[in-house]
Structure 1
């Protein structure tokens, strides 16, 4: 059992059976709570304001429909083990939350542990006490984690959540994570990150409600008398439509709360229109129809009229409370004093801020000159809109559902023609709230001084602009034109929503893009939105490009944005487009040599990027050829103009890595040596700019030396790289800790080859660094941790600690088996290396049958790799020799298998054009040991054949 508790100023929040991730000020990044059915308020509370009945958490309407979608979720939940993540997306009001709530109820009833995660850094304080998230009495079941508004979470926070111990429990059916979102722009980045773990990924779109159904049992149709003239409720066959069925269920639920009969309450004729594809729209139609029947009013026929009707009822509620001088906020407290006009502005503010801590609420209202004490206004607002969770100390609970809140913002802002009063203060209020004010809590991910509610405010305004054409041109666009950085502060979801607006001016998006981080480096919490904006701007940028060279640059840069967002296939297409365009330019016909060299340089850079994209998708042979072409071009350019030397050095580093992956170590070493020479000269004149690349080149060179029989030079090169990285990581730990961990891992291997005793502590330091990194971002660093554990296992063996080495080897293999099962091309090499280390551990500890089985698994992995890429053949031969050696030690019947494998290894090596010295040495050692074992068991002829084979190979 594990309990994690964090206490700040006597206030504690904890979980049992999971982790708590907190910011430096002690506020949790997210809150985990065991799911429980929503509380059912009394009818009087619900009937005070009709919109309360639309809140999914109150479950006023019985769940109906969505049969196919539920079946898909059940299959996803029940198939397979391990971790699986699904992205469920649909526009606001489509019923995602209701579907997830019903699915959670089913799962809990089936014995699953159901947990919700709420993102609220800096805005929502957790309830005091602990959440018990242990699995309970149904270990054969798994854990279901539901995350609403997942597209609004920064990616780094989602990855923290997905690394929580809650999702990594042994046994049962594993864990399922259901991420709810409005769109799918953020999904590729999330998918790419979680796929690097042991997670299966899938997405599911929740479609609009159809107008008609094929009919069948359970369909509901109204007869003409009930529907009334002009209503269209069924198709030509008389079969009921899903919208009509949902209307009937919702109508009956609302009528029961109002205490009125539902018979004869018909839907509007517009129910078959496009607006009513939303679940929320159908529920609104049913609610207004019931409320209008009770009050004797006429229900509006269209969605805009329904929205206005419900908002009018909000105003009526504020007026009644203010007019009721005896209405007490608390039994012993003062009466409700806030007039309707002030409450209107406060509700508008809450729609922009969302629920916040009391201090933030006071800061938000403090700058609005409401003419009343802020504390009194907040207390009165809480009477109208109490916190969703009474256990949390929050204020400014907004209107629900979100779509109604967005419509309220739009209708309160001037410029529409709907029958609803706009307010002159609305635009001013938006501006005030999005400017920093004294005492305003700052956002963690936004620009300096931006209020913590900026992401919500910008996102909700952009969402409102999707449905109400006046919001963008009259309000949002001028606001962003004056302060375009607000869009970036709003985060990835706000950027994606803005990019999807049909009427947003490209010039405004360009102004926003000017505040993006450089495209050279990823920005995980923004990349999905940046890629969306970049994609929207690409046609405009291409149209204004003066020539093919400029168009290729636009493709190149957009491709990098796509790559950072996890949209790998699209990134590859952009890189290919840039290369194709630049290759088509006849550089001989360009009149000015400098211009020709610029095109050639851009082609070389585009080729280097294209090679990297090919490698990211496992197409390594193609990647190597492309990178070699880039180096050839840059070598020629650098010979004429020293400005191209840094680009040549960078391409040589990529080439060295590509060649090493292909097992062409001597060529890789030559490329790395040239790269180090160039970077040393560059770093001498500008260390800040070039030392990071020099350290990477030194580590790569050391790796190559280690594989080409130069162990002393390998240690020297990697040590130089580690020394640089230690200095850089001291100044910027987050930027250079990953590179330092990688360099330490390579240094440990190099030290081990020379028999140096520092190999084990160096490997331990590397593993410790990767463990810390994997805690923050398991998707990226768990594979690296597994790789370094394999190296640590060998170091421990060489240091005479085989049992501890065996433990490290098993841990690394366990991680990599899961990763390779999901992405074999990405993780096959690392898995083979780890399996080789594990088989050696098992051999040394005399667990011979297990050693044979693991060695065979390793050989099978390498065989598949060699079939796909012949350059892998030397590593495959190495694996066969390892399997031969394990069988030779096992003896007995295993010796015949050993002889066969030794012969197969010889055939593979005969086809290799470059055999590293290490493999040649291993072949001799394994063959000699095999011959010795054969002779010891009286099989002299077989032993002689093995010896002759060794002599022939010299």
Structure 2
């Protein structure tokens, strides 16, 4: 629920009550809820970390490393803080920054410090936590920003959020407060996910930037200062303030000391060892073992002492240290869980039985590791920070060379048991965390022995890598796993684009290609590897990289085909087709035609020469090449040629689908879809509606069988059917399928903006046009304006690819704004459309001259209404000149637009330029009579309209006799 940011509004009150579960509410923001009733994400007010009691902290020294316990004050990172404050001060209303650095670099501490310092300047800070798996309490949060200087939103673990969930966050009304600077700080370990996230953010109108949190300065002085600050903070909890004699056991200039966490661990162990009389280890692995030994000692002490009461931990443990060790291992893999899920996790891990009651184990574990906030009703709180939990997993799993830490025989089986499917075949809810933590710890510079355990999990069930999601798949691709394991995952990848996985799949395929290509000597194998890589990069929206790989593949295919045409020309044709696709995606559309034509030539020769047994495959290849050629031809304005290519492709696909629909029906739908579009653009609109309905029927069947694989094509079919209905003058129906197309494409773009947001913009622009055609004029403006915003941003990055769509949508936006009496805005949009179209015509007149004529005609209308008749006459005259020339070459395509332009000039100019208007009306009548003679059902209504306009103008000029004659003609039933 939302409340306006108005200081006159009385304080809000909201009661949140939970019955048999939890309840969560917000004021001043939106709630987005999953289908199971859980929040997609949680929003809460940030507050400074609260100091924890000293006795409780000293029980387990690792607690002092958790930033939320406020033990060590912030120190250093002066340049990074200045950069973040400069970002807060930027002019942009909404700006998002991706702050990334390896685990332990201090991202969360830096974000908290920024929140503290921004708060001192009047800013409000809100924390966004991913909902599924998050700690949820019954609570209400007042998120209104009344009287604040700005709003900072911190998103931790942003690289582990599904892109669709981040996009929902970006659409929250919390980010839509006018006049308030809003900054979204996204924290992540790497920048792998930044490209699609930045595009999703930009779609919401946000400025975007990224900032890398590098290793700490290598100078001993800087690191000594940070070590000393941490040491002094820890020393206060050990009962002594003066601690200069406590020195680091690990040289601060060593590479491992570049992490903030490493310095803090070094300082903590130095202080603890000083107080206990122990010897601090001299390497990072030893420091970690020292802290984990303190965990073990605490479990033993708590289990042995039945009267133990210290600080916040009260009550002796009945759970043995051995079982507690096992339970902490489980918690590190699962993260916080509900009580029921916690019991299930213990059971799955084999921790159950008469002597090991799950409820008692969970209660004892919570004494050592309480939930994040008082009142949180979760169990299995893991070790913090995350990097310590990852190190604990690694040291507990056998295979490392650290001799003074006891690995456990049960650890390997437990990691497998917690990552297997249940009896119904469902993967565990914590799978993504478990695989991500194991993969992160298994990096070659950390604990490479973990790769064996991850490999064992995935060898048994490679599909688990896909079930874990795109972020986990990316982590696995970087973890140094055995090539054979990665190839087993690769074999199970979906054959085409998959909305939720494309980014992770691209990382996997790229990683495999990097391994295989350098040692690949066989040219054919190399060509296929590059083909596959180019395609996957394209699916992930990495079009420039995809083009580069496809060009490499093509060079190899040419060499192969030159040596053995009969064997390899088909592969060459496929690479040429792919090259055309990649060139078009980066805006090089004119260059894309030639490879597509060459591919068709090769495939046609192969089909003509094929034996009866090989004819099916040959026809399939030719149909594919023809289909892509039609697209390339249409993109450069060769519309009739595009229709010819598409019609041949459809004929081939029909024959194939009639013999094997399960294999070829999808291809038939794609070919029909393109043919319908090309017929429409070429002016043959009477044939398109039936084609659109057939395509939609096929795509609905296919999507019902596999939504992820076919939903993008369903959206295209819906969008095209809307266009065909609109062209058939069935205006009241056209917006219905188009609305459904927008909804699907919005979901797809939320997950992978790089691949789908341009398609979302197309659907939004169509929806605006169809709503306007149905008379919903006010409703037509918002979707069209949203489409313009997306396309304008895309065109800034790649004008050649996106300016044509931007120009068309700008023209529509101007028309919609004009209809709702927003003339100044209409003029602005109309002028920008014409400006863009003139640039496009300069490059490719055939593709864009008709659109320029239409844009000029619209601009003429806006100018005449604005009282600028001379400028209006100039724009309208240029529009007519272009259309007359075009209509002379292709009357069927261009005469209807010329007719509309003549009528518009007649109707709009009649009051300020009546003589020019009459001339336009007479031209419109002559043209329309000729069209009525050929197609009376289509143009009879148009003739009535233009005759009425002519009569009106004659009356304005005082020529009543001629006007009356036209009125009598209009009454003739034979008209």
Q: TM-score range by the shorter chain?
A: 0.7 to 0.9
Q: Name the counterpart of 1:569.
A: 544
| Alignment map for 1:403-802 (pairs within 5 Å) | 403-431=387-415, 433-434=417-418, 436=420, 448-466=425-443, 467-469=445-447, 471-472=449-450, 475-502=453-480, 504-514=481-491, 516-518=492-494, 520-542=495-517, 545=520, 547-587=522-562, 589-590=563-564, 596-641=565-610, 642=615, 643-729=617-703, 736-755=710-729, 758-771=730-743, 773-774=745-746, 777-778=749-750, 779=753, 784=759, 786-799=761-774, 801=775
1:33 match: secondary structure: strand
Shift of 1:288: 1.5
Q: Is 1:40–2:51 an aligned residue pair? A: yes
State the alpha-carbon separation in 1 of the partners of residues 576 and 80 from structure 2. 44
1:867-898, Cα deviation, whole Å (9 max, x unpaired) = 45444432443244324541574385333442
Shift of 1:194: 4.6
Q: Name the counterpart of 2:343.
A: 362
Q: Is 1:141–2:141 an aligned residue pair? A: no
Q: Is 1:126–2:136 an aligned residue pair? A: yes
Contact 2:606 2:618 in 1 (8 A): yes
Contact 2:849 2:882 in 1 (8 A): no
Contact 1:579 1:607 in 2 (8 A): yes
1:585 match: secondary structure: helix
Alpha-carbon distance change, 706 to 381 in structure 1, aligned in 2, over 3 angstroms: same
State the alpha-carbon separation in 2 of the partners of residues 195 and 652 from structure 1. 36
State the alpha-carbon separation in 1 of the partners of residues 483 and 711 from structure 2. 39
State the alpha-carbon separation in 2 of the partners of residues 498 and 781 from structure 1. 25
**37-46 or 483-492, which moves further after superposition?**
483-492
Contact 2:761 2:788 in 1 (8 A): yes
Contact 1:50 1:313 in 2 (8 A): yes
Shift of 1:363: 1.9
Shift of 1:209: 0.9
Aligned length: 901
Alpha-carbon distance change, 410 to 403 in structure 1, aligned in 2, over 3 angstroms: same
Q: Name the counterpart of 2:7.
A: none
Shift of 1:404: 1.5
Q: Name the counterpart of 1:187.
A: 194
Contact 2:473 2:504 in 1 (8 A): yes
Q: Name the counterpart of 1:75.
A: 86
State the alpha-carbon separation in 2 of the partners of residues 332 and 211 from structure 1. 40
State the alpha-carbon separation in 2 of the partners of residues 9 and 769 from structure 1. 39
Asked which structure has the greater RCO (Cα within 8 Å, sep 6+), the reply is 1
1:912-936, Cα deviation, whole Å (9 max, x unpaired) = 9976745444345535765898797
Alpha-carbon distance change, 602 to 84 in structure 1, aligned in 2, over 3 angstroms: farther
Contact 1:410 1:468 in 2 (8 A): no
Alpha-carbon distance change, 773 to 537 in structure 1, aligned in 2, over 3 angstroms: closer
Scaled by the length of structure 1, the TM-score of the pair is: 0.85
Contact 2:577 2:595 in 1 (8 A): yes
Q: What CA RMSD, in Å, does the superposition of the two structures yield over aligned residues?
A: 3.7
State the alpha-carbon separation in 1 of the partners of residues 912 and 159 from structure 2. 67
Q: Which runs of 5+ in 1 are unaligned?
A: 213-232, 234-240, 443-447, 591-595
Shift of 1:476: 4.0
| Alignment map for 1:795-944 (pairs within 5 Å) | 795-799=770-774, 801=775, 804-824=776-796, 825=799, 827-844=802-819, 848-883=823-858, 885-887=860-862, 889-890=864-865, 892-899=867-874, 902-903=877-878, 906=881, 917-923=892-898, 925-926=900-901, 930=905
Shift of 1:353: 1.9
Q: Name the counterpart of 1:223.
A: none
| Alignment map for 1:97-108 (pairs within 5 Å) | 97-108=108-119
Alpha-carbon distance change, 697 to 95 in structure 1, aligned in 2, over 3 angstroms: same
Q: Is 1:162–2:170 an aligned residue pair? A: yes
1:208-262, Cα deviation, whole Å (9 max, x unpaired) = 11222xxxxxxxxxxxxxxxxxxxx4xxxxxxx2211111211121122222122
Q: Name the counterpart of 1:218.
A: none
Contact 1:191 1:566 in 2 (8 A): no
Q: Name the counterpart of 2:940.
A: none
State the alpha-carbon separation in 1 of the partners of residues 200 and 889 from structure 2. 36
State the alpha-carbon separation in 2 of the partners of residues 161 and 931 from structure 1. 50
Q: Which runs of 5+ in 2 are unaligned?
A: 4-13, 931-975
1:629-686, Cα deviation, whole Å (9 max, x unpaired) = 2222222222233212223223323332333332322222222222222222222222
1:11 match: secondary structure: coil
Q: Name the counterpart of 1:238.
A: none
State the alpha-carbon separation in 1 of the partners of residues 419 and 585 from structure 2. 42
State the alpha-carbon separation in 2 of the partners of residues 606 and 712 from structure 1. 36
State the alpha-carbon separation in 1 of the partners of residues 609 and 201 from structure 2. 46
Q: Name the counterpart of 2:160.
A: 152
Q: Name the counterpart of 1:281.
A: 262
Q: Is 1:344–2:353 an aligned residue pair? A: no
State the alpha-carbon separation in 2 of the partners of residues 510 and 786 from structure 1. 36
1:342-369, Cα deviation, whole Å (9 max, x unpaired) = 2222222222222222122212222434
1:272 match: secondary structure: coil
Q: Is 1:307–2:288 an aligned residue pair? A: yes
State the alpha-carbon separation in 1 of the partners of residues 157 and 780 from structure 2. 39
Q: Name the counterpart of 1:255.
A: 235
Q: Name the counterpart of 1:237.
A: none
Contact 2:725 2:731 in 1 (8 A): yes
